[in-house]
Amino acid sequence: MRADKAKVIDKVWDDERIRSFLDKPAMGQEPEPYSQLLFAYRSMRAEDFARFVDAFVEAGGDPRARNKEGLSLHEVIATHTRAKDFLAILQQYS
């Protein structure tokens, strides 16, 4: 897993594209809900990630989903230097 969040620029994130992340299969042995959150975090800017999390929750997802080691995405990215905005988004659901 990457140690930090790379900046994503010049991407169009309409509702359809954001919602398409709800259909992403699990990566490796990770639980699907956690995997979807992680993939969105890795792929989106904070404002798009906020829209994804809203859609994720609306579809019945839990933003506190845990990975196979029992850690939430919030716990995993807490040490990433550019994760402040993402952490704030996830914190709203704690």
Q: What is the pLDDT of residue 7?
A: 57
Which residues fall within 8 angstroms of residue 50, CB to CB, at 6 or more apart? Answer: 89
For the chain, the average pLDDT equals: 91
Q: State what percent of residues in the chain have pLDDT above 90.
A: 83
pLDDT greater at residue 76 or residue 4: 76
Q: State what percent of residues in the chain have pLDDT above 70.
A: 89
1-17 residue pLDDT tens: 455 655 555 577 899 99
pLDDT (average), residues 61-68: 97
**Of 47, 34, 38, 31, which Cα lies nearest the Cα of 89?**
47
| pLDDT of 53 strictly over 90 | yes
pLDDT (average), residues 25-42: 96
